[in-house]
Amino acid sequence: MTPREHADALVRCFTGYVAKRDDPVNREHLRVATEWLRLIDADDPAAVDIEALQASLDTLGFAGSATIDLKLGVGAWASRARRSAIMRRKTAG
Number of Cβ within a 10 Å radius of residue 48? 10
Residue 50: predicted pLDDT:
96
**What is the pTM assigned to this prediction?**
0.90
pLDDT tens sequence across 19-51: 999 999 999 999 999 999 999 999 899 999 999
pLDDT tens sequence across 45-76: 999 999 999 999 999 999 899 999 999 999 99
Residue 45 contacts residue 81 (beta carbons within 8 Å)? yes
- Please state, in angstroms and rounded to a whole number, the distance separating the CA atoms of residues 35 and 89: 21
The domains of the chain are located at 3-92
Mean pLDDT of 2-22: 97
What is the per-residue DSSP string for the chain?
--HHHHHHHHHHHHHHHHHH---HHHHHHHHHHHHHHHHHHSSS--HHHHHHHHHHHTT----SHHHHHHHHHHHHHHHHHHHHHHHHHHHH-
